[in-house]
Amino acid sequence: MARVLRESKRVKTISKSSVHRILQGAGLKPHRVRMWCTSTDPDYDAKLAEITDLYLDPPAGEPVLCVDEKTGIQALGQIHPLKRPRPGKPGREEFEYRRNGTRCLFACFNIRTGHVLGRLTARRTQEDYLAFLDDVARTYRQGVVHIVVDNLNTHKSVAVEEWNRRHGGRFRFHYTPTHASWLNQVEIFFGILVRRILKHSSYGSTRLLDRAVERFVKQWNEREAHPFRWTYGQRTLVA
């Protein structure tokens, strides 16, 4: 900024502190950058409207489920225990840890009830996804079921189409625009899961991690399940 001002002949000299005051006065923080991913989907608006309309006015008697998987859930074992916070001082977490394996959580979120169905797997393969869809089909046996899902190749495959045909075509898949999986409400549940049982936690094995995730899903369904109130632009989406 100082160089540009000098080269433009606006000033002869300018100090770093003056540059700092100018930026501060304008509310600019060029040293801080947030990542952003722009969707180039040509059908973005149509897909967005289809999904938000489904949230706002779900068809009577037809479940609307938001489906996705959270991959790479690490069973991290802390080498040293977390030091508890004290008055005026935050807790402290040791930088080093042990990697004890990873898990994948397939989950669906019912937008009307807030209930979650989950399946933990060692990998994320087409077979794993189809096995989870079998869980969904056994849980939701009635008529038409709407599924909101992103554009991952395992979600939009011939195998999924064949699976749906075996179930009489009663599952209606609604795909989010590319780079817009945040439209899928199960992502909100994943965020809660991370904050509640993954962040600052220590798991000595994937078995212990599985137990913790399963307990949390059970507790959520029994005590906390609720529809999400979510605002997008000027639209408030209430499932």
| Residue range 2-12, pLDDT digits in tens | 888 888 988 88
What is the pLDDT confidence band of residue 239, given thresholds at 50, 70 and 90?
A: very low
What is the pLDDT confidence band of residue 92, given thresholds at 50, 70 and 90?
A: confident
pLDDT at residue 95, rounded to an integer: 75
pLDDT at 237 over 70: no
pLDDT at 1 over 50: yes
**DSSP labels, 154-207:** TTSSHHHHHHHHHTTT-EEEEEPPTT-GGGSTHHHHHHHHIIIIITT---SSHH
What 3-state class would DSSP assign to 100? strand
231 Cβ contact partners less than 8 Å away, ≥ 6 residues apart: 237
pLDDT at residue 136, rounded to an integer: 98
What is the pLDDT confidence band of residue 236, given thresholds at 50, 70 and 90?
A: low
Q: Tell me if 44 sits within 8 A of 176, measured CB to CB.
A: no
- Domain regions of the chain by residue span: 1-33, 44-238
Q: Kindly report, residue by residue over 32-59, the tens digit of the pLDDT.
A: 888 777 788 899 999 999 999 999 999 9
pLDDT at residue 30, rounded to an integer: 86
What is the pLDDT confidence band of residue 186, given thresholds at 50, 70 and 90?
A: very high
Q: CA-to-CA distance for 83 and 93, rounded, in angstroms?
A: 6
According to CATH, the topology of domain 44-238 is: Nucleotidyltransferase; domain 5 (3.30.420)
Q: Which tokens in the block code for residue 39?
A: 């969707």
**What average pLDDT does the chain have?**
91
pTM score over 0.85: no
Collect contacts of 214-220 with beta carbons under 8 A, ≥24 apart: 214/118, 214/120, 217/107, 217/116, 217/118, 220/116, 220/189, 220/192
Q: Residue 97 CB: number of other CB atoms within 10 A?
A: 14
Q: Which tokens in the block code for residue 195?
A: 């904050």
